[in-house]
Amino acid sequence: MEETLPWVVRELPPPGSLDLWLLRVSDVPAGILDEAVLDATERQRAAALMHAADRTRFTAAHVALRRLLGTYLSLRPEEINFGRDTCPCCGGPHGRPTVLGAGRELFFSLSHRGDLALVGTAMAPIGVDVDLVSDQPATAELASMLHVDEQAELAALAPELRPRALARLWTRKEAYLKGLGTGLGRDPALDYVGSGRPQGPYPPSGWTLLDVPVDRGYAAAVAVRGELDVTVPTVSRLSGPDVVGHTPRLLGRDAVPHASWLSDRDLAGHTFEALQTERTPP
């Protein structure tokens, strides 16, 4: 592919597929986040967070999102203008997030919790969610918000198995609600998403829900409208070069990214060869 743009260009995920990207925030060296690409609203939201760790996670997640979307839409990360679709619940302007003025339509979703940030992209409405596995007292309170059949499913488990099962159910639930564009504006008790067991029940009609392999101590899920060609999603790992200022080479969808180690020269603003990625272990 001819090098005509000063940033990476990726082909859009084909219909029936999706791309998933995972960032471990602690992998990003302190003080090098490319905050300049964020808009005023994002900076205000980050500044309003009380704890430094929360501010770092928010900033890293949103910088990574902008950089990824830019590679699909042939835009610099700072050129991306976010908007919102109409909310399916109330008709207000706070539905599914979109990129305004993009030449190509791409659906995306972002979730961040603890040390992880997860981004999903597809050519159909998509939602992703990542969460920590909570302790048993927190499990009981959260479970009470679920569909009655999901509550029964959890109650049938031994107490020590419930936190993990709840995290799996809850991430599937939030991923689906994000895909709908409602988020938690829609009562989580209304829809049964289940745990994906072969004996059923199945996800809501017209949707595919998959568990996403992430780090130990976390659960994650993705929901996409329509059928997918995969039953176990592949996750690409983001790293330091993906959230700092750099000018990578042009890449096609099938190109193999070159792995680069961070150095003092890189952190000073010199060019990286490409985005560093690796497969996420199960």
* pLDDT value for 202: 65
Least confident of 14-23, 172-181, 183-192: 183-192
Report the percent of the chain where pLDDT is more than 90: 50
* pLDDT value for 276: 31
Q: Which SS3 state, helix, strand or coil, does residue 186 take?
A: coil
Q: Which helix (H) or strand (E) holds 104?
A: none
Which ranges constitute the DSSP H helices of 74-147?
Answer: 136-143
* β-strand partners of 22: 118, 237
Q: What is the band of 281 on the pLDDT scale with cuts at 50, 70, 90?
A: very low
Which ranges constitute the DSSP H helices of the chain?
Answer: 40-47, 52-73, 136-143, 148-155, 162-180, 264-267
User: What's the pLDDT tens digit per position in 111-148?
Assistant: 999 999 999 999 999 999 999 998 777 777 888 899 99
Contact call for residues 116 and 130 (beta carbons, < 8 A)? yes
pLDDT, mean of residues 176-193? 91
CA distance 240 to 262: 7
User: What's the pLDDT tens digit per position in 37-80?
Assistant: 999 999 999 999 999 999 999 999 999 999 999 999 999 999 99
pLDDT, mean of residues 85-95? 76
CA distance 102 to 75: 8
Report the Cα 106 to chain-centroid distance in Å. 14
* pLDDT value for 259: 27
> What is the largest distance, in Å, between two alpha-carbon atoms of the chain?
59
CA Rg, the chain, in Å? 19
